[in-house]
Amino acid sequence: MDKRILSILAAAALAGWAGGAAHPAAGVTLDELAIPVTPDHPREFIFTDKGAAHLAGEAIGPDTRSYHGFYVAMHEVVDGWTLRLEDGTELGPGTAVEATVAPDRLVRLHRLPDGSTVTETVELFDRENGFRVVYDGVPSGTFAFVPRIDMRFLWKVGRPGYEVRWEDGALLVCRQDALTAEPDPAHPRWLAIKVRGAAGFTPDGRFQPVTYPKSLARKAMAEASPYLPGSIDGRIPPQVPGGRVEAVFAADIQPEDAAVRAGNLMAAAFDLALARRDRLQELVDRTAIATGDERDDRALAWARISLDNLIMNQRGLGIYAGFYWFTTYWGRDTFISLPGACITSGDFETAQALLRSFADYQDIDPGSPRRGRVPNFVTVDQVQYASIDGTWWFTRAVDELWRWSGDTAFAADMAPVVERAVEGALATAVDGELFLVHGDGETWMDAGGTEHPYSPRGNRAVEVQALWHRGLLTASRLAAAAGDLTAADRYVDLANKLAAAFHARFWQDGRLVDHLNPDGTRDGQIRPNGLLAILASPTLFTPQQREAVTAEAAREVVEPWGVLSLNVADHAFHPRHLDLGNYYYDEAYHNGDVWLWLSGAYVSALNDPTDGFGQTRMLLDEILDEGAVGTLQEIRDGAKAASNDEFGGATSQAWSLAELLRNAAQDYAGLQVDLTADPPLVQIAPHLPAAWPQLRVRTRIGPAPCLLTVKGDKGDPTIELEFLGEPGPDWEYRLVLPGKEPRTGGIRPDGAGRWSVVWN
């Protein structure tokens, strides 16, 4: 790595400490997380501002997707920028010879014809709808900063007219058709660009048609026409050996507001960058997972950061399903992600807020055919309910959060929501055997929609029934907590009847079938959804049944590169996601494509999770080595690919990241919490992978932050559980090791505000 980049990273670190940031030595530092990118192996970067804005592109090289750029609430604002020097040299992503992506910034190194270097640093600011670009080492002479503008909705392409103004040292740009529209705070229409010390502006006014190769490969959004409003000009004095050019971009509703915002961001840039850095470092420290393997520790820290990048505030708090085309709140994805994203890390407040936000949109119309459903899709413009399973993933998340937090007030608030969901389903969506009935495209395998489903699974899918079973049990527990024992008994009775029907109808010759067809026959396709059924309702299965499901999965759908959505031998199997000469890519989506989030369900379903550690290793390696920097993608080809730098699916996916983190806490560390039990139970059943000398997980149980450490031999590990706040006085502690009798533990204070569990 170039010494200039190292010096900038070190300076930023020192600035953080000098600014008074007090970070305990818990996790790795942001500088240690920096990942180099070279022209031989280009990778994408994605930054979000925790509000509604994100900035993404290629760390090195020109943009490869029309989705790259600076966006606010699904609307692109800025396509890119370059810096033109006096000798005509133009510095852009394509001229970079080296780049480094850290969680809080992108650093590019440009080499000039005389051998000198210019370093470009890009920083997005939290919740400011703006970002900064700084060039250091700029030679003396004139320069021109050249922005490219492309103001459009994510999935639309056009050549709108632009209003361009140069006022008081600020370049102001707005679409002409937005000038007379009603101002919308969710979609700031004006962009302001300021360059420190700028001398003037040279108009241009050209459109620059671009074809994006990764988008072209999908034959979707392959072309766009960014606009060149002109250049902001300045000069580095001769007496300055290596000058600095600093540009700030800011979006706002009115031109004067945008200009003021840009000025404020420039004035406060150091503090804003430091605040973002401190926030990210605190996140890493607070949620640190340490394995004893430095490389894996970095991958897990990146997973946490990239997942946190997807927790946004676009329309209230929510989790983006993924980048680039899922920058909205999908219910199913949110609810599946919550255990790994928030619950097992102890962020109960965020989890509660997310669940409450979806509960607010529950369909409560007594005449609705979707009565009781929680929405599966929420954007700034619409809400829709087209999924049978989203509501029950919601209920599972409520149950998981209640068990880990022990928050009875939250449970009381959610009880009527779950009751409405159950009663709505009983009134509108169950058959005579109590199975939930649904359309071909209403499960998570929903490509093609309800009209033209490519993976029809009507009308009773296996994981849907398991989710429904979990929902009934949760409704029973919530009713009991509220003192309604009649309802509690009714719901548990329904759950028992459903379980009996499930075992009678979904098991055939020792295997769990994927779904029941509308005519009542058992479908013969081999898919991974039995793994999801175990994840959804573990108590529905015996250890022997889990073994049967996971053994078939290992034979039929689990590959070293991930879990297939359909067995290779099936006539509907599609080996590659992108093979547009033969089929539309959505046909492969759930008919062969590997889904990375399914690796989490596979690990959890195994009686010994370490048997699935190969899946975890594959995910950790991708975060550091392949695809977009520091994250996990959505899918891969079903057939083994030459590399995993694929671009057919989403580039950064929430549930892929969340399931990896959940596995670490729940399956490998074995932390299993149920504060709703009598007495409240904290159970540790560790399965330490051989590749990890130890596993340390920082989290929270109820109100008490804690640190769980598992180390030593897998068969006889040392287990330490230390609380940094007082745990509940009546909690029971249980240690379960393979082949041994369970042990109980007692709590012992150390007199310094800490409590440790002592095992009997």
Domain match, 164 and 300 both:
no
Instruction: Residue 656: give the domain boundaries.
Output: 287-668
Q: Please write the tens of the pLDDT for every residue from 568-578.
A: 999 999 999 99
Is 448 within 8 Å of 441 (Cβ atoms)?
A: yes
CB under 8 A, 24+ apart: contacts of 730-733: 730/679, 730/680, 731/675, 731/679, 731/680, 731/681, 731/682, 732/677, 732/679, 732/680, 732/681, 732/682, 733/682, 733/683, 733/684, 733/757, 733/759
Question: Looking at residue 496, which CATH number applies to its domain?
Answer: 1.50.10.10
Domain membership flag for residue 737: no
pLDDT at 380 (0 to 100)? 65
> What's the rounded mean pLDDT across residues 651-667?
99
Q: Give start and end residues of each alpha helix (H) in 386-461.
A: 390-405, 408-428
Question: Looking at residue 205, which CATH number applies to its domain?
Answer: 2.70.98
**CB proximity list for 653: less than 8 A, separation 6 or greater:** 321, 322, 326, 596, 597, 631, 632, 633, 634
Q: Please write the tens of the pLDDT for every residue from 78-108.
A: 999 999 999 999 999 999 999 999 999 999 9
Alpha carbon distance 741, 721 (integer Å): 19
pLDDT at 9 (0 to 100)? 38
Is 130 within 8 Å of 152 (Cβ atoms)?
A: no
In this predicted structure, the answer to whether residue 674 has a pLDDT above a threshold of 90 is yes
Domain match, 186 and 272 both:
yes
Of 254, 281, 308, the domain-final residue: 281
pLDDT at 641 (0 to 100)? 85
Domain match, 263 and 312 both:
no
Domain membership flag for residue 679: no
Domain match, 26 and 102 both:
yes
pLDDT at 26 (0 to 100)? 57
| Radius of gyration from C-alpha coordinates of the chain | 27
Domain match, 504 and 643 both:
yes
Domain match, 92 and 163 both:
yes
Domain match, 253 and 339 both:
no
Domain membership flag for residue 321: yes
Q: Please write the tens of the pLDDT for every residue from 117-135.
A: 999 999 999 999 999 999 9
Domain membership flag for residue 754: no
Listed range (347-351, 560-564, 568-572, 723-727) with the worst mean pLDDT? 723-727
Domain membership flag for residue 687: no
In this predicted structure, the answer to whether residue 379 has a pLDDT above a threshold of 80 is no
> What's the rounded mean pLDDT across residues 637-662?
91
Domain match, 137 and 266 both:
yes
Q: How confident is the model at residue 10 (pLDDT cuts 50, 70, 90)?
A: very low
Of 665, 675, 672, 677, the closest CA to residue 403 belongs to: 675
Give the DSSP letter string of 96-155. Answer: EEEEEEETTEEEEEEE-TTS-EEEEEEEEPTTSSEEEEEEEEEPSEEEEEEEEEEEEETT
Average confidence score pLDDT of the chain:
95
H or E segment to which residue 558 belongs: strand 558-559
What 3-state DSSP class applies to 694?
strand
Of 668, 690, 709, the domain-final residue: 668
Q: How confident is the model at residue 646 (pLDDT cuts 50, 70, 90)?
A: confident
Domain match, 275 and 300 both:
no
Of 232, 139, 252, 255, the closest CA to residue 187 belongs to: 252
Domain membership flag for residue 489: yes
Domain match, 297 and 219 both:
no
Of 222, 253, 281, the domain-final residue: 281
Give the DSSP letter string of 498-551. Answer: HHHHHHHHSEETTEE-SEE-TTSPBP----THHHHHHHH-GGGS-HHHHHHHHH
In this predicted structure, the answer to whether residue 682 has a pLDDT above a threshold of 70 is yes
Domain match, 485 and 434 both:
yes
What 3-state DSSP class applies to 684?
strand
Domain membership flag for residue 695: no
468 vs 15, residue with greater confidence: 468
49-60 in b/e burial notation, b at 16+ Cβ within 10 A? Answer: bbbbbbbbbbbb
Domain membership flag for residue 407: yes
Number of domains in the chain: 2
Domain match, 299 and 262 both:
no
